[in-house]
Chain A
Amino acid sequence: MTEDPLTLEAELPTSLMTVNLGPSHPAMHGTVRLTVTLDGETIVEAIPEIGFLHRGFSKSSENSTWHQVLPYTDRLNYVSPILNNVGYIMGVEKLIGIEDTERSQYLRVLGGEISRICDHLTCVGAIGLELGAFTVFLYAMEARELLWDRIAELCGARVTVSWTRIGGVASDMPPGWEQKLRDCLPRVMELTNEIDVLLTRNRIFVDRTRDIGVISAEEAIDWGFTGPCLRACGVNYDVRKAHPYLVYDRMDFEIPLGSRGDTYDRYVLRLEEIRQSHRIVLQCLDQMPPGPIIIDDWRYALPPKKEVFGSIEGVMAHFKLIMEGQQVPAGEVYVYTEGANGELGFHIVSNGKGKPYAIQVRAPGFPILSALPRLIKGHAVADLIPIFDSINMIGGEVEQ
C-alpha cells in the first residue's frame, strides 16, 4: 500500500510532564507514592516512594517477647494474616528445633489456605473494580466475607487473628464449624466461577490486561519475583511443592503456571490458585486427625488454664512464659513459606533470651514493587492501574 503523505500523522510537539500519584489515591493500594513522568499518555519514568506506612516492625519486634511479635505479623499482610502467623511461628520453631502437633499442622494448612483464597479474591476483585467491573468486586467481597466469618469463628477475629502459638495454634475448630465451612465453600466457588465467567473471556478485560506489564522469566527472577507473579512467567517455584512444610506433602494439588508473564496471566493464575486452595481445604477437613492442638512442653507452650489455676507448676510455667518469654536457643535462621503473593521469609536471630534479637521480614511484595517502574515503563497511564493491581502489593508488609 502506498502511503499518502498527507494522511501521515504529524508529530505533535509534547513536553514531559510529571504527575504525582498517591500516597493517598484510590488506585494506590496502601500508601505508595508514584512520581510518574509522562510523555503524552506514555509513562517514561516512574519512581515509587514507600515508607508512609512504616511502623518499625523490626524494632518493635526486637523489644517484645516471642509471642508478642505475633500481633505485629498479623498487620504485615492484613488480607491473609494466618499465613504470616504461620511463617513467623515456623521460624521460631525452627530455632527451637520442635514441631507442632499433627492436628495443629492440619489446622495451620487449613487456615492458611482459607486466607490464601481471601487474598486472591481481594486481588481479583480489585482488578475488576478498577477496570470498571464493580460487580466482580462485590462478588469477591461476598465470598471473602463468607470466609472471614469462618475465620472469625475459628480464631476470634476477622483480620488480626494472632492465631498460631509456638508448638501449635490458639484454638481448635468450634463445634459445628466444619459443617458451616463445608456449607459456605460451594457458594465461594460459585462466586469465583461467576467472576471467571464475567472477566476471563470479557473482551474489554482481555484487551486491558493481555500483553500489559509483560516480564520475562529471567528478568522476573533477577528482580526477585516469587509467587503468582513469578509463576505467571512460567517458572515453577512454589515453596509448598519445592520444600513441603507442615502437611503439604500429603495434599493433592497442582501449581498453575502462566506463559506470558503479563497482567492477564497473573489474574488467571490467581483464579486457578483459588480452586487449588479449595481442594486443599477440603482435603484438610477430610484428613484432619483428632488430638491436641498444641504441644505439651511448658518451656515453650502456655499450660492449659486448668493447670495454671490448679497447680503450682502450671502457674510457675505461665508466669515465666509471660514475664520472661520463651528461652529460644541462640541461632540464626531464615525461614520461608509460601505467602499469598510469594515467598514470605523471616530472617530471625536469637541470642538465647526471651526476645527475638533481630527480625527482618522478606515481604513477597517488596521486590515486586521495586520492579514496578520496569513493568509500567512504556505503557499508558491507564495501564498502570491493572498492572499495579495484578502485583497485589500489600502496604503493610512492604513498608513494614
Chain B
Amino acid sequence: MSQALIELVRGKFPDATGSSHRGDEVVTVPRERVVEVIGFLRNDPAAEMKLLRQIAAVDVLTFRSETTGGGSIASIEAPAYALQKKPSVEPRYQVAYNLYSITRRQSLRVRVELRSDDMKVPTITGLFRTADWWERYIYDMFGVHFDGHPNLQRLMLYPEFVGYPLRKDYPVRKRQLLVPELDFPDLVRGPGPGPGGAGVPMSQTHVGRANVDPNTYD
C-alpha cells in the first residue's frame, strides 16, 4: 500500500529517493522541492494526506560515534564540548514531516537533509496551519530556519536563550545566564529593578551558581 505511495512520489518527482524501515515509508526529497512534494501529497486524490502529524528533526552529528550506555553525566558531557571544535558530518540535519491520510489510512514521511552551513527550509505553513508551531519548535530546538514563516520565533524557550539545545554539541548541563528583568513599569509600585529602573540588573544582584560562565561546567 504505502510502497505505492513512494512510487507515486517518485513518478512525479524523479529526484526523490524512497526507503522503508519497520513498515515506515520515507521519501527523501531535495530541499527546494519540499513544498511542491508535500503540496502534491496533500492534494493528490491517490494520497490525500491532509493531516500533518508532526515535524521532527534529527542531528546526525554523533550517530556513528556515540558511546553506549547510561554512564555518568560527566562522561557524556565532555564529548559534547569537544564536539564544538570538531568538523561536522554533512549533511548534518534531517527534517522529517510525518504525514497521514485519514481517508486512505496511509502514512508517509517526507525527509529533507540539510547542511549545517545552510540551514534553511521553505516553510509549509501555506499548506498546513499546524505547521506554524511545529516549525517554530524545530527552529527553537535546532536552529533550522524556515523561509517565509510568518512568525519564526522561539516557541518554548525564551528569546534570550543562547544556542539550540537539541543539537548534539549542546551539552546536557550547560547553563544559561540569568536574564535581566525587563524594564516594565509597574503601575502600583513604580518601575522595576530593570536596566532603566532604579535598581541594577538582576544578573548582578543575584550572584549565584547560575551566574557562572555558561561555557564551563562543574
Asked if B4 is at the interface (CB within 8 A of a chain A CB), the reply is: no
Q: With contacts defined as CB atoms under 8 Å apart, how many contacts are there between chain A and chain B in the complex?
A: 129
Within the complex, what minimum Cβ distance (angstroms) separates B214 from chain A? Answer: 16
Closest to B64 in A: A351
Contacts of B58 in A (CB 8 A): 332, 349, 357-358
Asked if A94 is at the interface (CB within 8 A of a chain B CB), the reply is: yes
A370 touches B133 (CB 8 A): yes
Contact mask for chain A residues 211-251; partner B; CB cutoff 8 A; 1 contact, 0 none: 00000001101111010000000010100001100000000
A353 touches B53 (CB 8 A): no
A400 touches B156 (CB 8 A): yes
A367 touches B133 (CB 8 A): yes
Of B24, B62, B156, the contact of A50 (CB 8 Å cutoff): B156
A357 touches B66 (CB 8 A): yes
Within the complex, what minimum Cβ distance (angstroms) separates A59 from chain B? Answer: 6
Asked if B89 is at the interface (CB within 8 A of a chain A CB), the reply is: no
Asked if B70 is at the interface (CB within 8 A of a chain A CB), the reply is: yes
Contacts of A400 in B (CB 8 A): 156
Selecting from B6-14, B31-39, B124-132, B204-212, the interface stretch reads: B124-132
Within the complex, what minimum Cβ distance (angstroms) separates A352 from chain B? Answer: 9
Selecting from A79-87, A260-268, A319-327, A377-385, the interface stretch reads: A319-327
* Docked CA distance A223–B69 (Å): 39
A331 touches B21 (CB 8 A): yes
Contact mask for chain B residues 122-157; partner A; CB cutoff 8 A; 1 contact, 0 none: 000000111011100000010000000000001111
Within the complex, what minimum Cβ distance (angstroms) separates A195 from chain B? Answer: 30
Selecting from A60-68, A119-127, A198-206, the interface stretch reads: A60-68
Contacts of B21 in A (CB 8 A): 331-333
Question: A332-B58, A366-B133 are contacts. A51–B69 as well, Cβ < 8 Å?
Answer: no
* Docked CA distance A370–B136 (Å): 11
A58 touches B141 (CB 8 A): yes
* Docked CA distance A354–B23 (Å): 23
Asked if A360 is at the interface (CB within 8 A of a chain B CB), the reply is: yes
Of A224, A323, A345, A358, the contact of B59 (CB 8 Å cutoff): A358
Asked if A97 is at the interface (CB within 8 A of a chain B CB), the reply is: yes
* Docked CA distance A131–B136 (Å): 34
Interface size class of B (residues with CB under 8 A): 35 or more
A331 touches B98 (CB 8 A): no
* Docked CA distance A64–B105 (Å): 34
Of B54, B155, B158, the contact of A334 (CB 8 Å cutoff): B54
Interface residues of B in 86-145 (CB under 8 A from A): 96, 98, 102, 105, 107, 109, 128-130, 132-134, 141
Closest to A52 in B: B156
Asked if B217 is at the interface (CB within 8 A of a chain A CB), the reply is: no
Closest to A350 in B: B63
A243 touches B156 (CB 8 A): no
Asked if A299 is at the interface (CB within 8 A of a chain B CB), the reply is: no
Question: A59-B165, A324-B69, A334-B98 are contacts. A345–B24 as well, Cβ < 8 Å?
Answer: no
Q: Which of B21, B128, B133 has the most CB of A within 10 A?
A: B133
Within the complex, what minimum Cβ distance (angstroms) separates A56 from chain B? Answer: 7
Within the complex, what minimum Cβ distance (angstroms) separates A72 from chain B? Answer: 13
Closest to B52 in A: A224
A68 touches B70 (CB 8 A): yes
Of A63, A332, A333, the contact of B76 (CB 8 Å cutoff): A63
Of B23, B70, B105, the contact of A323 (CB 8 Å cutoff): B70
Asked if A305 is at the interface (CB within 8 A of a chain B CB), the reply is: no
Within the complex, what minimum Cβ distance (angstroms) separates B108 from chain A? Answer: 10
Within the complex, what minimum Cβ distance (angstroms) separates A301 from chain B? Answer: 17
Contacts of B76 in A (CB 8 A): 63
Contacts of A50 in B (CB 8 A): 155-156
A360 touches B172 (CB 8 A): no
Asked if B166 is at the interface (CB within 8 A of a chain A CB), the reply is: yes
Asked if B56 is at the interface (CB within 8 A of a chain A CB), the reply is: yes
Of A58, A325, A334, A366, the contact of B68 (CB 8 Å cutoff): A325
* Docked CA distance A347–B57 (Å): 9
Within the complex, what minimum Cβ distance (angstroms) separates A238 from chain B? Answer: 10
A64 touches B165 (CB 8 A): no
B129 touches A222 (CB 8 A): yes
* A-B contact list, 24 entries, CB within 8 Å: A50-B155, A50-B156, A58-B141, A59-B165, A59-B170, A59-B172, A63-B73, A63-B172, A68-B70, A221-B51, A222-B50, A331-B22, A333-B22, A334-B98, A345-B98, A347-B56, A351-B64, A357-B58, A357-B63, A358-B58, A360-B57, A362-B54, A367-B130, A367-B133
